[in-house]
């Protein structure tokens, strides 16, 4: 019986690299990737943007590929590309395509403490409509971003992350003067607090500030923001998401239309409620309703906007070490992954932390994080693997086998996992016979 248990433990160690020394250094073990396609369909009634008709349907596709490489056990480099395509049924002058390249390097100092250096480049354009609707041609731009993020675990259920980024945006068509194009330089500060209330319910808050300095005086502004969100698993694989966000826009040199001595200011509140349903380990469906109210001293902007987003996401992943995502997004705002990304990033973060606590042999914490990750996204095979290892180390072979079987259904080509289950079942049967 003792020999069987030793064999199972050796299989666990060799299959899932609990110890840093178990890494064999080969390229395949250090390499990971994700390939995804997100579809966004948006029904919009923005009365400011739309004059005739007063509603529009947007179709969007965002194929993306990301590669990750484990430099050494605590350090991962990540790079990727996203193509964005948006087509408007009625307002065709807003049709947009974009190219995004990003890169991030993440280093974990210890379980629950890590730092990320990130950068990106975006090229976004629309048809040349300068002579028709010049106001909207500002969407054509090149943008560079550099930033740093830090994440820290405060307790077994609370994670805090901080990010500082600099954005440099160069517009193609909107001119400051006859000779000069508009250039913006933007700084962003953000603090994100994530808390797992239970295995079924997680929540969080984002607070931050955006400061935009532009060579076009009308576009200099300060934007504080605050957002709360809650996600709850309601059974049957459905995940419900509710959020509310308040943003302020304070312009330093943009008079309102009915007063040349008063600068524009806005308070914009956006409430949303949505659902996500994983269909398989590769496919998820989602839908979300938005209600936006703009309280502005600019009469043209005082309006209520309704929109509905729905679509699907297809993804294929291969993890490297633990998942390299750490709660600090390396993607660019407004591109693929942001529709349902907050919950998925939280699930990956919990999976990563569960793995790190396994390496430190803190099995209670590892199990807490792994089960939280499963409640957020039951399609992450690594979360089930981590939970199974934690159960096994705590002496609960039955639950360990159950978690590993779920992981195998999500990753049916994992031969090491199948072998591990077989050995654990043999051990479990031997233990039952002994009684």
Domain annotation for the chain: domains and CATH numbers: 15-354 (2.40.160.40)
Phi, psi of 75 (to 5 degrees): -125, 125
DSSP assignment of 193-222 equals EEEESSSSEEEEEEEEEEEEEESSGGG-EE
CB 232 within 8 A of CB 267: no
pLDDT band at 122 (very low <50, low <70, confident <90, very high): very high
Contacts of 281 (CB under 8 A, 6+ apart): 379, 381, 409, 410, 411
316 has pLDDT over 70: yes
pLDDT band at 44 (very low <50, low <70, confident <90, very high): confident
304 has pLDDT over 60: yes
Pairwise CA distance, residues 83 & 60, whole Å: 10
CB 352 within 8 A of CB 365: no
Reduce the DSSP state of residue 129 to 3 states and report it.
coil
**More confident of the two residues 243 and 408:** 243
Pairwise CA distance, residues 331 & 66, whole Å: 10
Taking CA atoms, 166 is separated from 8, 33, 144, 185, 331, in Å, by 49, 27, 8, 7, 14
HSE-CB for 27 with a 13 A CA cutoff: 1
28 has pLDDT over 80: no
243 has pLDDT over 60: yes
Helices (H), 37-162: 130-133
The secondary structure of the chain in percent helix, strand, coil, rounded to multiples of 5, reads 30, 50, 20
108 has pLDDT over 80: no
Contacts of 110 (CB under 8 A, 6+ apart): none
pLDDT band at 265 (very low <50, low <70, confident <90, very high): very high
Confidence at residue 319, expressed as pLDDT on a 0 to 100 scale: 60
Per-residue pLDDT, averaged over 340-350, amounts to 59
- Per the document, the length of the chain is 435
Q: Which of 128-142, 234-248, 274-288, 407-421 has the lowest mean pLDDT?
A: 128-142
Partners of 385 in the beta sheet?
none
Pairwise CA distance, residues 211 & 167, whole Å: 10
Confidence at residue 322, expressed as pLDDT on a 0 to 100 scale: 42
**More confident of the two residues 7 and 251:** 251
List the one residue out of 378, 402, 379, 380 whose CA is nearest residue 390: 402
CB 249 within 8 A of CB 268: yes
Task: Take residue 298 and report the two structure tokens written for it.
Answer: 């600019």
Please give the DSSP secondary-structure letter assigned to residue 113. E
**More confident of the two residues 345 and 157:** 157
Confidence at residue 334, expressed as pLDDT on a 0 to 100 scale: 30
Task: Take residue 108 and report the two structure tokens written for it.
Answer: 């974990």
| pTM across the whole model | 0.73
- Mean pLDDT, the chain, integer: 78
Confidence at residue 53, expressed as pLDDT on a 0 to 100 scale: 55
Q: Which of 41-55, 95-109, 367-381 has the highest mean pLDDT?
A: 95-109
Pairwise CA distance, residues 263 & 317, whole Å: 49
Number of other residues whose CB lies within 10 A of the CB of residue 11: 18
Phi, psi of 373 (to 5 degrees): -60, -40
CB 121 within 8 A of CB 101: yes
Please report which helix (H) or strand (E) contains residue 433, including its range. Answer: helix 415-434
Confidence at residue 196, expressed as pLDDT on a 0 to 100 scale: 76
**More confident of the two residues 118 and 316:** 118
**Residue carrying structure tokens 């000069």:** 180
pLDDT band at 14 (very low <50, low <70, confident <90, very high): very low
Element counts in the chain: helices (H) and strands (E): 8, 14
Q: Which of 1-10, 89-98, 170-179 has the highest mean pLDDT?
A: 89-98
**Residue carrying structure tokens 């089960």:** 371
Tell me the percentage of the chain whose pLDDT exceeds 70. Answer: 76
């Amino acid at each position: 019986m003792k020999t069987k248990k030793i064999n199972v433990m050796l299989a666990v160690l060799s299959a899932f690299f609990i110890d840093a020394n178990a890494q064999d250094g080969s390229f395949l073990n250090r390499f990971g990737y994700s390939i995804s396609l997100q579809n966004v369909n948006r029904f919009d009634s923005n009365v400011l943007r739309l004059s005739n008709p007063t509603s529009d349907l947007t179709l969007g596709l965002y194929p993306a590929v990301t590669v990750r490489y484990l430099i050494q056990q605590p350090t991962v480099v990540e790079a990727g590309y996203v193509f964005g395509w948006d087509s408007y049924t009625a307002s065709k002058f807003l049709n947009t395509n974009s190219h995004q390249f990003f890169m991030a390097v993440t280093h974990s100092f210890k379980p629950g403490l890590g730092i990320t250096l990130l950068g990106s480049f975006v090229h976004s354009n629309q048809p040349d409509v300068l002579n028709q609707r010049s106001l909207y041609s500002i969407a054509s731009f090149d943008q560079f971003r550099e930033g740093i993020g830090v994440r820290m675990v405060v307790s077994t259920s609370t994670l805090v992350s901080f990010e500082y980024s600099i954005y440099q945006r160069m517009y193609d068509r909107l001119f400051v003067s006859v000779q000069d194009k508009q250039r913006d330089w933007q700084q962003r500060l953000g603090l994100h607090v994530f808390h797992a209330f239970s295995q079924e319910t997680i929540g969080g808050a984002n607070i931050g500030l955006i400061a935009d300095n532009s060579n076009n005086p009308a576009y200099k502004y300060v934007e504080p923001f605050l957002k709360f969100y809650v996600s709850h698993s309601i059974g049957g694989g459905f995940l419900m998401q509710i959020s509310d966000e308040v943003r302020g826009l304070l312009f330093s040199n943009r008079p309102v239309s009915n007063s040349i001595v008063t600068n524009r200011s806005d308070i914009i509140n956006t409430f949303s409620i949505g659902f996500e349903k994983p269909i398989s380990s590769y496919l998820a469906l989602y839908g979300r309703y938005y209600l936006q109210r703009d309280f502005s001293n600019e009469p043209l902007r005082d309006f209520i906007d309704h929109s509905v987003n729905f679509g699907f996401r297809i993804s294929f992943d291969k993890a490297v070490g633990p998942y390299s995502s750490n709660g600090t997004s390396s993607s660019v705002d407004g591109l693929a992954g942001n529709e349902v990304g907050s919950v998925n990033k939280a699930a990956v973060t919990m999976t990563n932390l569960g793995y790190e606590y396994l390496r430190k042999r803190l099995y209670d914490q590892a199990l807490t994080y792994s089960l939280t990750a499963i409640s957020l996204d039951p399609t992450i095979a690594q979360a089930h693997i981590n939970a199974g290892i934690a159960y096994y180390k705590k002496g609960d072979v039955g639950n360990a086998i159950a978690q590993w079987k779920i992981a195998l259904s999500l990753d049916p080509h994992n031969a090491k996992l199948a072998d591990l289950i077989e050995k654990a079942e043999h051990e479990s049967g031997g233990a039952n016979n002994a009684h």
